[in-house]
């Protein structure tokens, strides 16, 4: 029987929007793509700069166990996150990573690499803080876990109104990069 649940881990450090990324994708899947999702988060005591991760499960059926032991997809936005969670990426899983912040070491196992200069793209928009939204566009194009349309509906509901246009541009930049 094929696995119906996709186990996703977003990982980085506090202040990068890692937790919000899990919330946005989970909301898009649940509300607009008619799927089930559940999310857990982990973070250090620091307000910003400490390690954090968001574990998201997305499925077409009810989720019975809401925790990840091995990720199908790992999204890394910091070196420490890569070093911590890469060993928990399944064989033939997907590793999406920010080339500006993560330098890969020799792979111990076989998985698919998908690099993007998310931070650099965000800086081109004049705001590093939207690197996670660039990554969400890339994630959407590469994984197809959620639809582009559901993400474009969810992002405006998830960011301050004055930043909606900027976030949608950042999302589309990542999405186009992922398509090409």
Under DSSP, the state recorded for 42 is E
CATH of the domain at 79: 3.40.920.10
Q: Which residues have a Cβ under 8 Å from the Cβ of 12 and sit 6 or more positions away?
A: 18, 52, 53, 76, 77, 78, 81, 101, 132
- Domain range for 57 is 5-179
Per the structure block, which two tokens stand in for 160? 């301050």
pTM given for the model: 0.93
pLDDT band (50, 70, 90) for residue 42: confident
pLDDT tens for each residue of 140-159: 999 999 999 999 999 999 99
Task: Give me the number of domains the chain comprises.
Answer: 1
Beta partners for 9?
A: 55, 74
pLDDT reading at 87 higher than 50: yes
Confirm if 167 and 114 have CB atoms less than 8 A apart.
Answer: no
């Amino acid at each position: 029987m094929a696995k119906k649940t996709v186990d996703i881990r977003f990982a980085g450090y506090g202040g990068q929007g890692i937790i919000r990324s899990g919330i946005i994708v989970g909301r898009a899947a649940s509300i607009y793509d008619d799927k089930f999702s559940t999310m857990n988060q982990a973070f250090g005591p620091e307000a910003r700069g400490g390690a954090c991760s968001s574990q998201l499960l997305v499925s077409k059926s009810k989720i019975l166990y809401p925790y990840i032991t091995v990720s199908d997809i790992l999204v890394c936005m910091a070196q420490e996150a890569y070093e911590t969670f890469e060993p928990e990426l399944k064989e033939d899983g997907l590793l999406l990573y920010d080339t500006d912040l993560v330098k890969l070491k020799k792979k111990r196992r076989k998985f698919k690499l998908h690099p993007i200069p998310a931070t650099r793209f965000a800086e081109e928009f004049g705001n590093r803080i939207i690197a996670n939204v660039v990554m969400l566009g890339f994630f959407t194009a590469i994984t197809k876990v959620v639809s582009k349309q559901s993400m474009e509906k969810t992002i405006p509901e998830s960011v301050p109104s004055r930043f909606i246009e900027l976030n949608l541009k950042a999302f589309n930049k990542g999405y186009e990069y992922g398509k090409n």
